[in-house]
């Protein structure tokens, strides 16, 4: 009876290649995470300021003007623009 024995796995086995790939991906992802952590910081929240009554009136006039311009080719858009302008 002939039997073959293998003392150790070949150096470039598929299992070894997957282990090397996993190790390389892990190192890459940790380096990428570290680079992003240095690059991005949390910004201060932006608090919107209230519009003056004149600026609000001008914005409403612009929306009504746009609604009139687009009435012929897209009446639905005109309706939406008028609705937004009326909400103030």
Quick: pLDDT tens for 41-76. Answer: 666 777 767 778 888 889 899 999 999 998 999 999
The model carries a pTM of 0.43
Find out whether 81 and 70 touch, Cβ atoms under 8 Å. yes
Cβ of 2: how many Cβ atoms within 10 Å?
A: 3
Distance in angstroms (rounded) separating the CA atoms of residues 73 and 56: 27
Distance in angstroms (rounded) separating the CA atoms of residues 40 and 23: 26
Distance in angstroms (rounded) separating the CA atoms of residues 70 and 87: 19
Report residue 59 as tokens. Answer: 């914005």
Q: Which helix (H) or strand (E) holds 61?
A: helix 53-69
The per-residue pLDDT for range 10-27, each reduced to its tens digit, is 567 888 888 899 999 999
């Amino acid at each position: 009876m002939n039997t073959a024995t293998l003392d150790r796995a070949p150096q470039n086995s598929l299992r070894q290649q997957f282990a090397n790939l996993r190790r390389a991906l892990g190192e890459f992802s940790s380096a990428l995470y570290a680079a992003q952590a240095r690059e991005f910081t949390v910004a201060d929240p932006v608090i919107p300021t209230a519009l003056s009554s004149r600026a609000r009136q001008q914005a409403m006039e612009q929306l009504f003007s746009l609604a009139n311009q687009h009435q012929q080719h897209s009446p639905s858009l005109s309706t939406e623009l008028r609705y937004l302008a009326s909400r103030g």
